[in-house]
A and B are shown apart, each in its own frame.
Chain A
């Protein structure tokens, strides 16, 4: 295990949280996009995207370390990883009555993306706070490493 292990954990989390923020920005930007992709000649509205996170352990090397009995901090894990970016197919599209819209159907309703700006704002705040917490952890561990360099000065 490298001495920079804890810094790597925190930085993997910073990357993951920034990706979450990017996906949220994309959702917010596309709140009115009615033409995201074409299915059978019909335009589909943009679908809200969500990020799935998972701990970055359970790799072969970590199991091997445990089996060998070298669990001196071996099973502390390696941070977090984005396992996938998924489209939200649970929430239905919003129907808005607007007969003048070019994508309106025969009854005059337009399918709008299934994005709730409030929900996105809350996710954004959560991502920001997590990012800040990881910066704090990174700084604390960094200053501990810097302090270790002073041993014997």
Chain B
């Protein structure tokens, strides 16, 4: 019986995604004046299933062995066909700012939930006292 349940693992994956997203957004905003720069995006859900089958599988002789790559839940890639400016730069500043705000809220929601989880565990450990 797992006392933590699956919630903490899921929240951890979410935080991984949120940090990757934060990096991609910083990179996009940093390169807003770079000619020919293509927007980078991070995807969480869609890549997960087909990325797992593509990557190198570890030969496991025990169920507790880890995969070679166990954090390929999110992947960054270029949106190469997107451009709407004269210098072929694909960064949409409004979208990046909105994504930045959304990512921040998403991140604090995850941390809030994680703390809630830890607090209830603590309350169980202390026996409700």
* Given contact pairs A71-B75, A72-B74, A147-B108, A137 touches B32 in the complex (Cβ within 8 A): no
A residues in contact with B16, CB < 8 Å: 72
Other-chain contact of B33, A3, A53, A140, A148 (Cβ < 8 Å): A53
Complex Cα distance, B72 from A73, in Å, reads: 9
Complex Cα distance, B30 from A53, in Å, reads: 10
B27, B30, B75, B103 interface centre (most CB from chain A within 10 Å)? B30
- CB of A55 within 8 A of chain B? yes
| A73 with B56: CB separation less than 8 A | no
* Given contact pairs A53-B34, A143-B104, A147-B107, A10 touches B71 in the complex (Cβ within 8 A): no
- CB of B79 within 8 A of chain A? no
**Size of the chain A interface, CB-CB below 8 angstroms:** 45
- CB of B76 within 8 A of chain A? yes
**Size of the chain B interface, CB-CB below 8 angstroms:** 44
- CB of A70 within 8 A of chain B? yes
- CB of B22 within 8 A of chain A? yes
Chain B minimum-CB-distance residue to A5: B23
* Given contact pairs A9-B23, A55-B37, A134 touches B30 in the complex (Cβ within 8 A): yes
- CB of A45 within 8 A of chain B? no
Main secondary structure, interface of A, reads helix
Other-chain contact of B20, A69, A70, A76, A137 (Cβ < 8 Å): A76
Complex Cα distance, B73 from A71, in Å, reads: 10
- CB of A79 within 8 A of chain B? yes
- CB of A12 within 8 A of chain B? yes
**Contact string against B for A residues 79-104, beta-carbon threshold 8 Å, 1 for contact and 0 otherwise:** 11000000000000000000000000
- CB of A151 within 8 A of chain B? yes
Tell me the minimal C-beta distance from A115 to chain B in angstroms.
20
- CB of A75 within 8 A of chain B? yes
| B27 with A136: CB separation less than 8 A | no
| A136 with B100: CB separation less than 8 A | yes
Tell me the minimal C-beta distance from B117 to chain A in angstroms.
10
Chain B residues within 8 Å of A, Cβ to Cβ: 15-16, 18-20, 22-27, 29-35, 37, 40, 42, 55-56, 68-69, 71-72, 74-77, 93, 96-97, 100-101, 103-104, 107-108, 111, 114-115, 118
Chain A residues within 8 Å of B, Cβ to Cβ: 1, 3, 5-7, 9-10, 12-13, 16-17, 20, 53-55, 69-80, 126-127, 130, 133-134, 136-138, 140-141, 143-144, 147-148, 150-153
